[in-house]
């Protein structure tokens, strides 16, 4: 049934393309504009822009919800973001790194409120002026920046099973100054489960392991962002922001583990863990900009990111006889605890410059210096005879220091209807890891090129090429083993090498009066692919760690259609299909897997009279290839409705995420030689109610009313 639905959507895309391709047309699709309703997706050469506020199912949600609604994006339970089948997608906020992603990626995505996000850019083929990090491209999250004369806005949302969120923002704009601050609060509770079945050898013959885990996650998050801009004159400005964050979490987990042996009695244990942690951090940015329109642009940025974190985890493990009813005193009760302290900082100094030579030629160049340092202290203790003893095997200290220096140049010109751009970026990297692991310095060159042919003012063809790198993160390099689950160990690998990638993309866009279409054909070739690989150790234990596989290649096609069957109904249909392969050797196991994957998203927006609007979204993701196994396909349906009062100043909304409760992550690792079936389920079917109130200055209210009257008149004439 699921495959039939996917095929139906793909064929609908292709049939629509074939029908509309017979019609004449004419301009470059720089922005799709539908009167009466704002477009959610804007397609530009090498870039897609998703307007977060237009999608009603994002109201009151978080960054995890927003990313899950974007075509070709797949977000795992661990917070890993995959794009076109690859997880090495660099995430920026307003074009810069942010400390919010330096702690737990899953927590960061689920705690960051959607109300702070204006739009999300996916730069699938970045040029030389962008950082080369990320073999799949760049995901740039653009935060809201209010530029009204004066405004005060309040948002509040409540979700099923104890989920609460609120935000308060204020903005003021004058001739010389612009000030903006935003205060966010979010508290949530989620219930997750995990089921594992595994077969492996043991001293007692074949062992069959069944593991059920139930987890409750409680999170509390505060953030305060303040930003100001001072206009020194008509060209120069000085700006800065401070973004402070505090987060705490309390996670309780119970694992029931049953191991059945071929020639021995089965072993049952119950392992309970209670984890409490908190993170405190800030981002501080200063920026100077000098812009002479049509002649030159200059921008200097200085960014400082700092984070401190503490975590404590208490473990209690008891052994039982059948059905977990009677204690098995043949095995002693295990009482253990772990304590972790971490700190990290990022320093960034960057300059970007642009010089125009006439109206059609310009040169961009710049520099970047970036330093990151991570320190992690981890102690693991066991209670023996009422005394806590340090387990040296499981305790570790890990320091990681990274320095990157970069220079780039980018030249662009337009000859008739063809715009071409050539760029070159140079990056030097130095890594230093304690405990005897020291990486040598290395230098990389990153050429890029793009060509855009404006066939008419409503149609264009483009080609882009870029070379990228993905350096191993400090977590993937940390060699010390995590024993949170005694039979499923995890570790990093200090001998990892960077991934290197080549990206190619052909794009065609066309716009009709009430219909637009965009197609992309892409190819990604990666050498030294970094992936998590699971191996079996002695007894019942497996170890999952990062390894460099030899090679990976993906080639695929993406399609986007937007049209309005009626004035009140707008349809957006996006689909992608691509081939993934993995080739390489790990230990004595040869890995050579190939699979086609795809996704489709059908979004319907409705706008009725008297301020009512609604939305229904259907999303399908086919099975995916990963070194841990084949990830099974899934589908989901989201719905939302909104009502505006008081000329749009007061808004009430309701939404349902994952109406069918069908978002389940299932791994099948049999193609990789290990029988290990894993099923994970996060709480995804959530009901939300929310309200938003905005108060704008009198001058702004008058402007909004005039603009609304013009839009309504134009929509009526459409």
Domains of the chain: 2-587+598-717 (2.40.170.20)
> What's residue 589's pLDDT?
63
CA atoms within 13 A on the CB side of 574: 21
Q: Residue 5 carries which DSSP code?
A: H
Residues, the chain:
718
Type and span of the H or E element at 190: strand 177-200
Q: Give the tens place of pLDDT for each residue, 185-241.
A: 888 888 999 999 988 777 777 888 899 999 998 988 888 989 999 999 989 999 999
Positions of the chain with pLDDT under 50:
1-37, 710-718
Strand-pair category, 81-83 with 73-75: antiparallel
State the residue for tokens 């795809």: 598
Distances from the Cα of 634 to the Cα of 32, 37, 294, 655, 664, angstroms = 30, 30, 49, 20, 7
Q: Please, are residues 50 and 73 in contact by the beta-carbon 8 Å criterion?
A: no
Q: Tokens for 665?
A: 């992550």
CA atoms within 13 A on the CB side of 164: 6
Distance, in Å, from the CA atom of 473 to the CA atom of 449, rounded to the nearest integer, reads 28
Q: Residue 238 carries which DSSP code?
A: E
State the residue for tokens 């008419």: 456
Distances from the Cα of 308 to the Cα of 188, 347, 546, 611, angstroms = 22, 15, 25, 46
Q: Please, are residues 135 and 469 in contact by the beta-carbon 8 Å criterion?
A: yes
Q: Please, are residues 437 and 472 in contact by the beta-carbon 8 Å criterion?
A: no
CA atoms within 13 A on the CB side of 1: 2
Q: Tokens for 99?
A: 């400390």
Distances from the Cα of 610 to the Cα of 38, 52, 642, 643, 707, angstroms = 17, 23, 11, 8, 17
CA atoms within 13 A on the CB side of 652: 4
Closest CA to 624 of 135, 90, 87: 87
> What's residue 585's pLDDT?
65
CA atoms within 13 A on the CB side of 687: 2
Q: What are phi and psi of 508, to 5 degrees?
A: -130, 130
Type and span of the H or E element at 700: helix 698-717
Q: Tokens for 408?
A: 């780039």
> What's residue 45's pLDDT?
65
- For 470-506, letters b (16+ CB in 10 Å) and e give bbbbbebbbebebbbbbbbbbebbbebebbbbbbebe
- For 552-586, letters b (16+ CB in 10 Å) and e give bbbbbbbbbbbbbeeebebebbbbbbbbbbbebeb
Distance, in Å, from the CA atom of 677 to the CA atom of 198, rounded to the nearest integer, reads 6
Distance, in Å, from the CA atom of 155 to the CA atom of 166, rounded to the nearest integer, reads 5
Q: How many other CB atoms are found less than 10 A from the CB of residue 228?
A: 15
State the residue for tokens 């890029």: 448
């Amino acid at each position: 049934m699921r495959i039939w639905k996917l095929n139906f959507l793909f064929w609908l895309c292709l049939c629509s393309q074939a029908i509309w391709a017979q019609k004449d047309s004419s301009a470059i699709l720089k922005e799709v504009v539908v009167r009466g309703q704002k477009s959610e997706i804007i397609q530009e050469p090498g870039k897609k822009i998703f307007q977060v506020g237009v999608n009603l199912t994002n109201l009151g949600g978080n960054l995890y919800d927003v990313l899950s609604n974007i075509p070709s994006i797949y977000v795992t339970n661990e917070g890993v973001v995959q794009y076109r089948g690859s997880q090495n997608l660099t995430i920026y906020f307003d074009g810069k790194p942010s400390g919010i992603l330096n702690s737990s990626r899953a927590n960061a995505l689920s705690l960051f409120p959607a109300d702070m996000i204006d739009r999300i850019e996916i730069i699938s083929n970045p040029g030389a002026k962008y950082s080369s990090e990320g073999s799949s491209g760049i995901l740039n999250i653009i935060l809201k920046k209010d530029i009204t004369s004066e405004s005060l806005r309040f948002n509040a949302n409540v979700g099923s099973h104890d989920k609460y969120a609120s935000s308060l923002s204020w903005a003021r704009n004058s001739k010389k100054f612009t000030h903006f601050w935003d205060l966010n609060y979010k508290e949530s509770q989620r219930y997750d489960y995990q089921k594992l079945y595994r077969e492996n050898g043991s001293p007692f013959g074949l062992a069959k392991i069944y593991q059920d885990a139930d987890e409750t996650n409680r999170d509390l998050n505060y953030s305060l962002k303040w930003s100001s801009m001072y206009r020194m004159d008509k060209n120069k400005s000085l700006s800065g922001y401070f973004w402070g964050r505090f987060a705490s979490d309390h996670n309780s987990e119970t694992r029931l583990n049953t191991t059945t042996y071929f020639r021995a009695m089965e072993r049952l244990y119950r392992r309970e863990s209670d984890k409490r942690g908190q993170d405190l951090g800030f981002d501080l940015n200063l920026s100077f900009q000098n812009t002479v329109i049509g002649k030159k642009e200059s921008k200097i940025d200085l960014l400082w990111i700092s984070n401190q974190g503490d975590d404590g985890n208490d473990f209690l493990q008891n052994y039982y006889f059948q059905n977990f009813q009677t204690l098995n005193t043949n095995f002693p009760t295990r009482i253990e605890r772990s304590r972790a302290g971490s700190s990290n900082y990022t320093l960034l100094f960057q300059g970007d410059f642009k010089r125009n030579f006439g109206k059609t030629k310009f040169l961009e160049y710049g520099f970047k210096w970036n330093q990151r340092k991570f320190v992690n202290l981890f102690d693991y203790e066991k209670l023996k005879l009422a005394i806590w003893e340090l387990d040296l095997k499981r305790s570790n200290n890990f320091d990681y220091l990274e320095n990157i220096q970069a220079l780039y140049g980018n030249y662009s010109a337009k000859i008739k209807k063809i715009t071409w751009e050539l760029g070159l970026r140079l990056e030097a990297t130095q890594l230093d890891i304690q405990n005897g692991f020291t990486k040598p310095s290395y230098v990389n060159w990153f050429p890029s090129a793009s060509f855009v042919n404006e066939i008419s003012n409503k149609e264009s063809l483009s080609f882009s090429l870029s070379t990228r790198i993905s350096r191993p993160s400090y977590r993937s390099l940390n060699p010390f083993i995590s024993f949170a689950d005694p039979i499923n160990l995890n570790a990093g690998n200090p001998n990892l090498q960077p991934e290197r990638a080549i990206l190619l993309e052909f794009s065609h866009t066309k716009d009709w009066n009430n219909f637009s279409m965009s197609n992309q054909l892409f190819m990604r070739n990666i050498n030294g692919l970094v992936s998590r690989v699971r191996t079996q150790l002695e007894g019942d234990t497996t170890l999952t760690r990062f390894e460099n596989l030899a090679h990976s290649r993906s080639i695929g096609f993406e399609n986007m259609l937007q049209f309005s069957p009626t004035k009140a109904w707008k349809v957006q249909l996006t689909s992608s299909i691509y081939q993934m392969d993995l080739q390489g050797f790990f230990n004595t196991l040869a890995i050579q897997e190939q699979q086609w994957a795809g996704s489709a998203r059908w979004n319907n927006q409705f706008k009725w009279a008297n301020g009512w609007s609604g939305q229904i979204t259907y999303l399908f993701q086919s099975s995916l290839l990963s070194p841990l196994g084949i990830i099974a396909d899934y589908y989901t349906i989201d719905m939302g409705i909104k009502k505006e009062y008081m000329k749009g100043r007061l808004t009430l909304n309701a939404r349902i995420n994952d109406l069918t409760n069908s978002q389940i992550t299932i791994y099948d690792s049999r193609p990789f030689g290990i029988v290990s079936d894993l099923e994970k389920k996060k709480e995804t079917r959530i009901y939300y109610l929310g309200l938003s109130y905005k108060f704008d200055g009198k001058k702004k209210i008058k402007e909004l009313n005039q603009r609304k009257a013009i839009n309504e008149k134009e929509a009526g004439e459409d």
